[in-house]
Amino acid sequence: MKRSKKLVSLMLAAATASMALAGCGSKTADTTATTAGGGAATEAQTEAGTKEAAAEFSYPMASGDKLTYWCELTSTVAANYANLGDTPFAKEWAKDTGVDVEYQHPPVGQTKQQFGLIMADGNLPDMMEYSWTADYPGGPEKAIKDGVIISLNDVFQKYCPNILKYLEENPDIDKMIKTDEGHYYVFPFIRGDEKLCNTIGLMLREDWLKELNMDVPTTIDEWHDVLTAFKEKKGATAPYTFEYTNPQYLDSNPFLFAFNSSRGFYLGDDGKAHFGAVEEGYKQYLTTMAQWYKEGLIDPDLASMGSDQVAAKMTNGQSGASMGQAGSRMGTWISAAVKTTPEYMLKAAPSPSLEKGARPEFGWIELPFSGRASVAITTSCKDVERAARLLDFAYGEAGHMMFNFGVEGESYTMENGYPTYTDLIMKNPDGLPVSQSMAAWFRGCYNGPLVQDVRYLEQYYTMDSQKETPEVWGAHNGKKHIMLPVTPTSDESKEFSTIMNEINTYRDEMTLKFIFGTESLDNFDTYVTNIKNMNLEEALDIENAALDRYNSR
């Protein structure tokens, strides 16, 4: 797609979208498909809806009113641009679609607060990029009933052949992005390959392991030996450290998974929701962490560690092991540390097990649709068709390439059929880090209303240690235990939130007390009783009822 050939027929995009898009763990529909009507439809009905949306339309659109788009400004963009609209990506999106967009951003760290203020004011932007499942009280169905966002069923049928085509071919994703009542509510962020779902894991100093003649640890006992050696022979004052203040890292804790447990809800072998923090595995995890903490193997400042503090300790020799992403953590730390320690190298470690050679039953993996960074059209939007066609562009072939790679001939070139980033991205002439040059030209490097392409990741990971992370970190059975994106009803959501806010606060307080030794693990049974008395059973009933409805979609 040359810059001079951007008048792309939407009918062609719809017909060819499947060539570029593949859902994480998804499969192609056979003789039936799920459509915007909210239920099973015949192939003919789906095809009719797609043809209706595609009829006599091509990009760019005729001129029209400016649309408003509210979203967080990610840090890799904010480092060089005050507004997403100033980026080459946004300018190209506007050029390709013919839609002028005014971007509105909440102050850093105040997304939820500003979202609440916008809801109270009632003067909504046309489109809002948000986590509607997790962060809107009552969930997306409540947002529709509250008159905040619109159901997209008819909108998809009339104006969105690309997303319809994608959902037809990926019924598992289709199930995820609608409510129990069958309402589509967002243009979703989808991870388009399972490798994109395995991006967080354990890492440790490979140069230290070689010096100490030790192998990459695979069990809890081996980890104990390695961390002890890091402390005693390498002088590490915080052998293992990680961003404890990051909720995502708490939820993706590989050491906890080793004990077949979770700090929150997970799917058991019985197909039901369970709450890991009251189970025996959680006690075993706490017992191990308390021992490691007492022996000085865990960062003494654990409770307050943020990204900057962890980065400093991982690059100056205070720590030898951590967890995080292969790009923003592993790659960044290696690049920073080799400037003063040329032999510095990090290596990925698999999720540990209790027995040597055993495949871990639990482990971190993201769903292809997490709910984050997905875009709803609000009830304030006066030109729904314009907003819908703007957003649907990303799910067609031309939009997929632009959202994941930018502009052909500038940010990427096609080499033997493979979209290859140019030096503008990989060796930016202005000295921008790869993460920032990528974020300026496309959104596939972080998130947004698109299907993320694994070919982005294959190039973003430039080091051998990074390239091996998807396989290393994905070597577990955690996929079958991850909770699905269920949506409690409005009434259920209120009760669930009240119960779980109290339980989670108490769990987090007691977890640190148990690890730090200020509370004896002899009192674990009392801790469990207290949580159960906070109406845990009612919360489990709500979660399982929502799970049953999800499975019936």
Last residue of a domain, one of 452, 482, 509: 452
Check whether residue 122 and residue 244 sit in a common domain: no
If phi > 0 it is left, if psi is from -120 to 50 it is alpha, else beta; for residue 505 that is alpha
Check whether residue 375 and residue 510 sit in a common domain: no
Q: How confident is the model at residue 238 (pLDDT cuts 50, 70, 90)?
A: very high
Please compute, for residue 530, the number of CA atoms within 13 A of its CA located in the half-sphere on the CB side: 14
Q: How confident is the model at residue 50 (pLDDT cuts 50, 70, 90)?
A: low
Instruction: Tell me: cis bond preceding 171? Omega within 30 of 0 counts.
Output: no
CA distances to 371, 426, 493 from 539, in Å:
21, 48, 10
* Domain-embedded: residue 126: yes
pLDDT at 22 over 60: no
Check whether residue 135 and residue 230 sit in a common domain: no
* Total count of domains within the chain: 2
How far, in Å, CA of 440 to CA of 381, rounded?
A: 27
Last residue of a domain, one of 387, 418, 452: 452
Check whether residue 350 and residue 434 sit in a common domain: no
* Domain-embedded: residue 81: yes
The fraction of the chain above a pLDDT of 90, given in percent, is 83
* Domain-embedded: residue 206: yes
Comparing CA positions, the residue from 313, 291, 348, 309 lying closest to residue 240 is 313
Check whether residue 74 and residue 94 sit in a common domain: yes
Which of 201-215, 226-240, 396-410, 477-491 is predicted least confidently?
477-491
* Domain-embedded: residue 1: no
* Domain-embedded: residue 152: yes
Task: Answer whether 364's CB lies under 8 Å from 263's CB.
Answer: no
CA distances to 17, 121, 188, 512 from 400, in Å:
8, 35, 13, 44
With b meaning 16 or more CB within 10 Å and e meaning fewer, what string describes 290-313?
bebbeebbbbeebeebebebbbeb
> Domain containing 415 — which CATH number?
3.40.190.10
pLDDT at 447 over 50: yes
* Domain-embedded: residue 478: yes
pLDDT at 34 over 60: no
Check whether residue 426 and residue 474 sit in a common domain: no
The fraction of the chain above a pLDDT of 70, given in percent, is 90
Check whether residue 211 and residue 332 sit in a common domain: yes
The pLDDT of 493-506, averaged and rounded, is 93
**What pTM was estimated for this model as a whole?**
0.83
Q: Residue 201 in 3-state DSSP?
A: strand
Check whether residue 259 and residue 219 sit in a common domain: yes
Last residue of a domain, one of 417, 452, 487: 452
* Domain-embedded: residue 377: yes
Check whether residue 212 and residue 301 sit in a common domain: yes
Based on the number of CB atoms within 10 Å of its own CB, is 56 exposed (0-12), middle (13-18) or buried (19 or more)?
A: exposed
How far, in Å, CA of 523 to CA of 517, rounded?
A: 12
Average pLDDT, the chain: 90
| Contacting residues for 1 by C-beta, under 8 A, at least 6 apart | 8, 398, 401, 402, 408
Angle between helices 490-516 and 280-294 (to 10 degrees): 40
- The whole-number pLDDT of residue 53 equals 53
* Domain-embedded: residue 497: yes
Check whether residue 258 and residue 323 sit in a common domain: yes
pLDDT at 23 over 50: no
Comparing CA positions, the residue from 322, 237, 303 lying closest to residue 518 is 303
Check whether residue 355 and residue 246 sit in a common domain: yes
Residue with tokens 């966002």: 149
How far, in Å, CA of 276 to CA of 260, rounded?
A: 9
pLDDT at 25 over 90: no
Q: Within a 10 A sphere around the Cβ of 346, how many other Cβ atoms?
A: 26
Task: Answer whether 154's CB lies under 8 Å from 184's CB.
Answer: no
* Backbone angles phi and psi of 190, in degrees to 5: -120, 130
pLDDT at 30 over 50: no
pLDDT digits (tens, 9 = 90+) for 311-356: 999 999 999 999 999 988 999 999 999 999 999 999 999 999 999 9
Check whether residue 154 and residue 25 sit in a common domain: yes
pLDDT at 45 over 80: no
For residue 403, the enclosing domain spans: 10-193+368-452
